[in-house]
């Protein structure tokens, strides 16, 4: 049972345009969401996060939007650069100890972003 | 460089064997996490240690075990290996055990079981 879903395995975008990566989750108790970026042969690196009390968080070219009613979040990259080409993982967690869960990250399967020059 | 060191980078072994993966967390981080990434899968949480004690358990098989030592490095032991255990195993660390501080991942150990 996949609690965090990234339905697009890949996305191709032209340099300078907007990249939009989507993520859906099923557990309404998740209250903290993160995006990680992963280059080949490296571990994931933290990109940006958002708490469930917010609907938007911005950091430079990266913005994460959260729609709690739809259980959906998205990562916008503007403008996209060739160096942004990587696999992007969405992750969610329960920060409160609920039902025995210790709040560890649940990851999606990732979306491979290719930014073409 | 995340500051998290994992060894070895690659491991090839036969079914039925036992291997040990090692992780050194970032300096100052007390919590260590182990994740498994199989082909075309997301990262699956296995287990977490905080300051030497087990803090949380995920989808970890009984054939797998882990520990965190007094110097805070951690080892993941995989025994009676099966073909399906072939995967990338990531270690991550964070300062606290259950805060929203992001995880810092190592570069992983690629295990191939033949």
Total residue length of chain B: 114
Half-sphere exposure of A33 (CA within 13 A, CB side): 34
Shortest Cα–Cα distance, B17 to chain A (Å): 25
Phi/psi for A116 (5° steps) reads -95, 135
- For B55, the closest chain A residue by CA position comes to A102
* Nearest Cα residue in chain A from B89: A43
pLDDT of residue B2: 83
CA distance B105 to chain A (A): 5
Least confident of A52-61, A96-105, B53-62, B90-99: A96-105
Q: What is the pLDDT of residues B20-69, one digit of tens each?
A: 999 999 999 999 999 999 987 789 999 999 999 998 888 899 999 999 99
Answer whether A103 sits within 8 Å of B98, measured CB to CB.
Answer: yes
CA B43 to CA B38: how far, in whole Å?
A: 8
Tokens of A79: 């403008």
Taking CA atoms, B70 is separated from A42, B31, B50, in Å, by 27, 12, 11
The gap from C-alpha A55 to its chain's centroid, in whole angstroms, comes to 14
| Matching residue, tokens 């990434």 | B37
Which of A46, A97, A102 is facing B102, going by the closest CB pair?
A: A46
Chain A residues touching chain B at CB-CB below 8 Å: 4, 6, 32, 34, 36, 41-46, 49, 51, 89, 93, 95, 97, 101-110
């Amino acid at each position: 049972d996949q609690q965090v879903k990234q339905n697009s395995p890949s996305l191709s975008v032209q340099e300078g345009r907007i990249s939009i990566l989507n993520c859906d989750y099923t557990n309404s108790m998740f209250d903290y969401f993160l995006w990680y970026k992963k280059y080949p042969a490296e571990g994931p690196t933290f990109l940006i996060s958002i708490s469930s009390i917010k609907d938007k968080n911005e950091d430079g070219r990266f913005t994460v939007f959260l729609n709690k009613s739809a259980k959906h979040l998205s990562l916008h990259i503007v403008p996209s650069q060739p160096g942004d080409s990587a696999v992007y993982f969405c992750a969610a967690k329960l920060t409160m100890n609920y039902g025995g869960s210790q709040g560890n990250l649940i990851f999606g399967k990732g979306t491979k972003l290719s930014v073409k020059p | 460089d995340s500051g998290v060191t994992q060894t070895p980078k690659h491991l090839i072994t036969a079914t039925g064997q036992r291997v040990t993966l090692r992780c050194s967390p970032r300096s100052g981080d007390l919590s260590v996490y182990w994740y498994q990434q199989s082909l075309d899968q997301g990262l699956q949480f296995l287990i977490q240690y905080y300051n030497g004690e087990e803090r949380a358990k995920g989808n970890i098989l009984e054939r797998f075990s882990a520990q965190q030592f007094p110097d805070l490095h951690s080892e993941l032991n995989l025994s009676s290996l099966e073909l399906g255990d072939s995967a990338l195993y990531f270690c991550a660390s964070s300062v606290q055990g259950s805060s929203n501080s992001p995880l810092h991942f190592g570069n992983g150990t690629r295990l191939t079981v033949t």
